[in-house]
Amino acid sequence: MKIRLFAAAACCALASAIAFPAFALDYPARKPGLWEIQSGDGTGKGPGAGHTMQQCIDAASDKALRDMGQGMGKDMCSKQELRADGGKLVMDSVCKIGTTTATSHAVMSGDFNTAYRMESKSSYNPPLMGRTEGASVMEAKWIGPCKADQKPGDMVMPNGMKMNVIEMMNGRGKK
């Protein structure tokens, strides 16, 4: 059970970190508070169609997630490029996932104070879990201050389970 919880938190942290890896051009910091993040494959149907989670952040936890993405990027990616293009951020990367090379292109838009959106497409060579390509859409919106029973780093999963990603990253996960 503990391994499953860590795996679920790691996946969510990875999704957040991938959205905010560090490049030569800095990503804007998100507004502190409670964010609702919807992610899916962009089709709205079938496996991976989507799920919604909530994430409570402050400036320190937001930075920790970005730093985690930077660390993962240094270890996994041979290419990470970020550029501003017409008010949007465009990210291109080439990363190793096990023996597979993932080539990705993502476009992010929004103000990071009230909402942002990321659309990404990836190709996998050799195929990753039987897939040669994939797409995802992530939409996030700020919904207000964190709830009274939440602290920065808390994530509420689609099934209602709450975990603190920062504590898990530091090896102090909830039991």
Give the pLDDT of the chain (175 residues) as one tens digit per residue: 333 333 344 344 444 443 444 344 567 789 999 999 999 986 665 555 679 999 999 999 999 888 887 777 778 899 989 899 998 999 999 999 999 999 999 999 999 999 999 999 999 999 999 999 999 999 999 999 999 999 999 999 999 999 998 898 888 544 4
**Backbone torsions φ then ψ of 134, nearest 5 degrees:** -155, 160
Give residue 26's pLDDT.
67
Can you give the pLDDT at residue 79?
A: 92
pLDDT of residue 44: 62
Using alpha carbons only, what angle is made at residue 139 by residues 49 and 48, rounded to the nearest 5 degrees?
15
Residue pair 118/138 in contact by the 8 Å Cβ criterion: yes
CA atoms within 13 A on the CB side of 49: 5
| Token representation of residue 18 | 């991938």
Strand partners of residue 51: 39
Q: Are 25 and 82 within 8 A, CB to CB?
A: yes
